[in-house]
Amino acid sequence: MNTLELKSRGVLTANRIPKDYFVAKGKGQSDITVHAGSFHLALKDAGIEAYNIMTYSSILPGIAQEIAKPETLPHGCVMETIMAASNAEKGKRATASIIYGWLYDKDTGQKYGGLVCEYNGDLTVKEAEAQLKQSLNELYTNGFSEQYYLRGIKVMSESIVPDRKFGTALVALCFTSYFIPYTDS
């Protein structure tokens, strides 16, 4: 297929930009397995078990905004997330935490975007959140502090010490809409 044929059959777009998101968290435990067991039950507890979950790295676009979880989303739809998930065996702690904050231009005050850090491990919620605050500060200091202020910091966590064979804790920013720019080139 040559370039002319390609252009006549579709629209050339730039990368999608995540826009609206909601926060979900949950925990689950199972005597059978992790993935189809405790992880799925944590997704169910979070209200996102009916979707095909994909994960992103840790950057929020400037247009992103938190919304309430939509009442309905199509069963089986792709849900792209920034997720922290931790698994543990019986009697051991699993903690998942996310921290994020927004960057604002020091000269214009305009919202630039956001930074997100995730924690997956066995610390207590208090310890995990303290570590995340340090991680977020390190990201900010080593790449953004000269030009931007960091504001609007939020932290959310989930933790479980399962009394069954496996346990999972998770926290996620779940995207529901995207801006799709187009390009002429």
Per-residue pLDDT tens digits for 69-89 = 999 899 999 999 999 999 999
Read off φ and ψ for residue 170, nearest 5 degrees: -145, 155
Name the pTM for this structure.
Answer: 0.90
Domain spans of the chain, in order of start: 17-69+76-178
Per-residue pLDDT tens digits for 11-34 = 788 899 999 999 999 999 999 999
Output the six-digit token pair for 160.
């479980």
Task: Choose among 185, 183, 70, 55: nearest CA to 120.
Answer: 55
Predicted local distance difference test score (pLDDT) of residue 183 = 80
CATH tag, 17-69+76-178:
3.50.20.10
The rounded mean pLDDT for the chain is: 94
CA 60, CA 17: separation in Å to the nearest integer?
9
| Sign of the torsion angle spanned by Cα atoms 124, 35, 166, 26 | positive
